[in-house]
Amino acid sequence: MNQRQSSLLAAYRHSAYLVGVVVVRIGRRSAALDALFRREGAREAVLIAAWNPFSRRMPRGWNRRMDARLWEHIRRHRWLPATGGTGIWWEEHILLFGDCRPAIVLARRFRQRAVVLLRQGQPARLHLLTPLPA
């Protein structure tokens, strides 16, 4: 793995994902997230975004338009707004409840490099959808 790949992977793994007051981190369980799952009557969810395809920064207006398109695709599903980032960088996400497989297909359609898979009682998992850039 080269330096660029290592840096990108580290950025994903060090990001904090916020759903209201619930903090989600890769590789960690969250009692607050488990409580959110219980309130929503769900056992799994995925953090998905439409911003910055293939991890390339895009203008804010472009990212907002992609968000609007993503919302059109999920309007019939249960979801909550979320954000994710490292402090110096952030982007909007959506916590989409239910089976992760359709969300992964949708993330690929929006040219996302990764999603965060969540299951009640388990640590958050980073799921890469495309290879890291060389």
Dist. CA 52–CA 12, nearest whole Å: 13
Is residue 6's pLDDT more than 90? no
pLDDT of 48 higher than 80? yes
Q: CA dihedral defined by 45, 63, 91, 67, rounded to 10 degrees?
A: -30
Mean pLDDT of the chain: 90
Tokens of 79: 């979801």
Band of pLDDT at residue 24, cut at 50, 70 and 90: very high
Q: H or E element: which one contains 52? A: none
pLDDT at 131: 72
In this predicted model, what pLDDT tens digit does every residue of 54-94 receive, in sequence order?
A: 888 899 999 999 999 998 999 889 999 999 988 777 889 99
Phi, psi of 103 (to 5 degrees): -65, -35
122 vs 119: CA distance, rounded Å = 6
Looking at residue 87, its pLDDT comes to: 78
Q: Encoding tokens for residue 125?
A: 């998992």
pLDDT-derived band of residue 132, with 50, 70 and 90 as boundaries?
A: low
